[in-house]
Chains A and B, each alone.
Chain A
Amino acid sequence: MANNNIIELVNVTKSFDGDIVLDHINLKIKDGEFITLLGPSGCGKTTTLRIIGGFLYPDSGSVFFDGKNITNVPPYKRHLNTVFQKYALFPFLNVYENVAFGLRIKKLPEAKIRAKVLEMLELVNLVGFEKRGVTALSGGQQQRVAIARALANEPDVLLLDEPLGALDLKLRKAMQIELKRIQQQADITFIYVTHDQEEALTMSDTIVVMNKGHIQQIGSPESVYNEPVNAFVADFIGESNQLDGIMLEDYRVEFNGRVYQCVDKGFAKREPIEVVIRPEDLKLCRPEEGNIVGVVKSCVFMGANFSIEVEQGDYTWTAHSIHYAQPGDTIGLYLEPDAIHIMKEFDNDDAYPDDPEEELLPPEEEEEK
Chain B
Amino acid sequence: MNRRKSRLMRVTSGVYAAFIFLFLYAPIAVLIALSFNESKLRSSWGGFSLKWYASLLQNDRIISALGTTLLLALLSAAIATVIGTAAAIGLHNLRGPFRSVLLNLTYIPMLNPDIVTGVALLLLFTFVGYSMGFSSLLLSHIAFNIPYVVMSVLPKLKQMNPNLLDAAMDLGMKPATAITKVVVPEVMPGVVTGFLLAITMSIDDFVISFFTTGPGVSTLSIEIYSMTRRGVNPEINALSTIMFVVVLALLIAVNLRSGQKGGEMINIG
Direct contact of A and B (CB under 8 A): yes
Chain B nearest CB from A367 CB (Å) reads 7
Residue of B nearest to A368 (CB): B2
Q: Is the C-beta of A77 less than 8 angstroms from some C-beta in chain B? A: no
Interface of B is mostly: loop
Q: Is the C-beta of A369 less than 8 angstroms from some C-beta in chain B? A: yes
Chain A nearest CB from B40 CB (Å) reads 54
Residue of A nearest to B3 (CB): A368
> When each residue 1-35 of chain B gets 1 if its CB lies under 8 Å from chain A and 0 otherwise, what string results?
01010000000000000000000000000000000
How many residues on A have C-beta within 8 angstroms of the other chain's C-beta atoms? 4
CB contacts between A and B, total, < 8 Å: 4
A369–B4 alpha-carbon span in the complex (Å):
10
A368–B4 alpha-carbon span in the complex (Å):
10
Q: How many of chain B's residues touch chain A, expressed as a range?
A: under 10
Residue of B nearest to A75 (CB): B4
Chain A nearest CB from B91 CB (Å) reads 28
> When each residue 188-218 of chain A gets 1 if its CB lies under 8 Å from chain B and 0 otherwise, what string results?
0000000000000000000000000000000
- Across-interface contacts of A74 in B (CB, < 8 A): 4
Residue of B nearest to A369 (CB): B2
- Across-interface contacts of A367 in B (CB, < 8 A): 2
- Across-interface contacts of B2 in A (CB, < 8 A): 367-369
Residue of A nearest to B4 (CB): A74
Chain A nearest CB from B143 CB (Å) reads 39
Residue of A nearest to B1 (CB): A367
Chain B nearest CB from A128 CB (Å) reads 35
- Across-interface contacts of B4 in A (CB, < 8 A): 74
A74–B4 alpha-carbon span in the complex (Å):
10
A369–B2 alpha-carbon span in the complex (Å):
7
Interface residues of A in 279-308 (CB under 8 A from B): none
A367–B4 alpha-carbon span in the complex (Å):
13
Interface residues of A in 86-123 (CB under 8 A from B): none
> When each residue 340-368 of chain A gets 1 if its CB lies under 8 Å from chain B and 0 otherwise, what string results?
00000000000000000000000000011
Chain B nearest CB from A76 CB (Å) reads 12
A365–B4 alpha-carbon span in the complex (Å):
19
A74–B2 alpha-carbon span in the complex (Å):
15
A193–B4 alpha-carbon span in the complex (Å):
24
A91–B4 alpha-carbon span in the complex (Å):
24
- Across-interface contacts of A368 in B (CB, < 8 A): 2
> When each residue 15-38 of chain A gets 1 if its CB lies under 8 Å from chain B and 0 otherwise, what string results?
000000000000000000000000
A369–B3 alpha-carbon span in the complex (Å):
9
A368–B2 alpha-carbon span in the complex (Å):
7
A254–B2 alpha-carbon span in the complex (Å):
57
Chain A nearest CB from B73 CB (Å) reads 42
Chain B nearest CB from A253 CB (Å) reads 53
A55–B75 alpha-carbon span in the complex (Å):
55
Chain B nearest CB from A73 CB (Å) reads 12
Chain A nearest CB from B7 CB (Å) reads 15
- Across-interface contacts of A369 in B (CB, < 8 A): 2
A-B contact pairs, 4 of them (CB 8 A): A74-B4, A367-B2, A368-B2, A369-B2
Question: Ordered nearest first, which 4 A-B pairs have the shortest CB separation?
Answer: A368-B2, A369-B2, A367-B2, A74-B4
